[in-house]
Amino acid sequence: MDLSGEFHVPLPREAVFEALNDPVILGRCIPGCQTLERVSENEFDADVLAKVGPVKARFRTRIAVSNLNPPESYTLSGEGRGGAAGFASGSADVSLETADDGTVLRYVARVQPGGKIAQVGSRLIGGTARKLGTDFFSRFVEIVTPEAPSEEGEPDEKEE
């Protein structure tokens, strides 16, 4: 399924882009992220505790950054393997546009669950994915913003 959202970040585009490539910040943005380490120039390994409906599992996740087009856009993709619980893979195309008082961050994400997560949690995966996406980017905004996020920082996301 496809998800998309839009956030306002009160920072210049270059600063936002840099933050989006910072493993420390990424690690703090991923909900349930226990550890995150860089394994190559554009790849990170994360250990994520996530729950989809009745299925709760620890996902060993490889996160990769691609389509780098600084400071305008990049693609963030990840595949989390939850052992017997199955897997979830997804990617998000993130684009940044300079606005009057900062940057508008837009993303379009796709999620593909597999195994027990798809089997038992398929009806819940949409909501969970939406929540994880929203949580990720709103945390990002929160972390990179010097003060508390403004009203415009609230997510405006829809499922397509």
Partner 1 sequence: MAESGIGASVPRTEDQRFLTGSGDYTDDTTFPHQTHAAFVRSTHPHASFTLDTTAAASAPGVVTVLTGADLAADEIGTLICGWQVTGKDGEPHKAPPHPVLAVDTVRHVGDAIAIVVAESARAARDAAEQVEVSYAPLPAVVSMRDALADGAPQIHSDAPGNLCYDWEIGDRAATDDAFARAHHVARLDLVNNRLIPNAMEPRSAIGDFNPASGDYTLRLTSQNPHIHRLVLAAFIQIAPEHKLHVIAPDVGGGFGSKIFIYQEETAVLWAAGKIGRPVKWTADRSESFVADAHGRDHESHVELALDADGRFLGLKVSTLANMGAYLSTFASCVPSYLYGTLLQGQYTTEAIYCEVKAVFTNTTPVDALRGAGRPEATYVVERIVDQAAREMGIDAAELRRRNFIPADAFPYPTKVALEYDSGNYRLALDRALEIADYGDFAARREASSARGRLRGIGLSAYIEACGIAPSQVVGSLGAGVGLWESGGIRFNPTGNVLVYTGSHSHGQGHETTFAQLVSDYLGVPFESVEVVHGDTEKTPFGMGTYGSRSLAVGGSALVKAMDKIIAKGRKIAAFTLEASEEDIEFSGGDFAVAGTDRSMNIAEVAFSAYVPHNYPLDELEPGLEETGFYDPANFTFPAGTHVCEVEVDPETGTTEIVNWVAVDDFGNVVNPMIVEGQVHGGVAHGVGQALLEGCAYDADGQLLTGSFMDYTMPRADDLPDMTVETTCTPCPHNPLGVKGCGEAGAIAAPAAVMNAITDALGTNAIDMPATPQAVWRALSE
Sites of contact with partner 1 (CB under 8 A): 83-87, 112-116, 118-120, 122-123
Q: Which is nearer to partner 1, 6 or 45 (CB)?
A: 45
Residues belonging to the chain: 160
- Nearest distance in Å: CB 73, partner 1: 26
Task: Please report how close the Cβ of residue 56 comes to partner 1 at its closest, in angstroms.
Answer: 12
Work out how close the CB of 29 gets to partner 1 at its nearest, in angstroms, rounded to a whole number: 26
Rounded CA separation 86/126 (Å): 16
Closer to partner 1 by CB, 102 or 115: give it. 115
Closest CA to 140 of 14, 1, 21: 21
Helix H or strand E encompassing 18: helix 13-20
Residue 14 or 159 with smaller CB distance to partner 1: 159
The distance of closest approach from Cβ of residue 112 to partner 1 in the complex, given in angstroms and rounded to an integer, is 6
Nearer to partner 1, 27 or 113 (CB): 113
Give the contacts of 110 (CB within 8 A, at least 6 positions apart): 1, 2, 3, 90, 91, 92
- What DSSP state is assigned to residue 19? H
Residue 89 is which amino acid? S
